Amino acid sequence: MAILLLIPFFVVRFWLLGWLDKTGIERAAHFAPMYGGERIAFWAYQISTMALVFWMFRLKMIIELDSLFGVGAVLYATGLAMLAKSVIDFAAPAVNGFRKSGLYCFTRNPMYVSYFVFFLGCVLLTRSFSLFLILLCFQVSGHWVILAEERWCLEQFGEPYSQYLCETGRYL
């Protein structure tokens, strides 16, 4: 059952974050105010998130020792490791309220990047084109959520965040 692939993801994303920082889960679940078309993107993001999880119940992991399986396993493990590191970094916010160290010095959105890498690994491990399409919807809608978050961060943190925008890429 492919759903078993999600157990480590949920352990890291929820248990580890909650264990490291009691307010971490609440902070990670905070979404910036959405306006206009961003609201549609927000709901597309929420629905595609649920679809990624529930679709995994329908799938089986295909274990064939070939390059597709190998690449999928590497992406899966890399995404999980990136998620763990981004959760650890997120659990200890800087004094100014946002992180610029750890994975946050390479990408402004390490959790979102790790989600994509992790689920792309799941796509390859299950060899599911339908899961890939759901992942694309998740990623495109997530981009608009990220744009709203960046606007909110600019309002909250001002010039230091504006400088961070110039220094660090959104994704890579």
Per-residue pLDDT of the chain (172 residues; tens, 9 = 90+): 899 999 999 999 999 999 998 888 888 888 999 999 999 999 999 999 999 999 999 999 989 999 999 999 999 999 999 999 999 999 887 777 778 889 999 999 999 999 999 999 999 999 999 999 999 999 999 999 999 999 999 999 999 999 999 999 999 8
Domains of the chain (ranges; CATH) run: 2-24+45-167 (1.20.120.1630)
pTM reported for the whole predicted model: 0.93
3-class state of residue 130 by DSSP: helix
Q: What is the DSSP letter of 42?
A: H
Contact 125/69 with Cβ under 8 angstroms?
A: yes
Q: Which of 89, 93, 112, 120 is nearest to 5 (CA)?
A: 120
Place of tokens 């105010």: 33
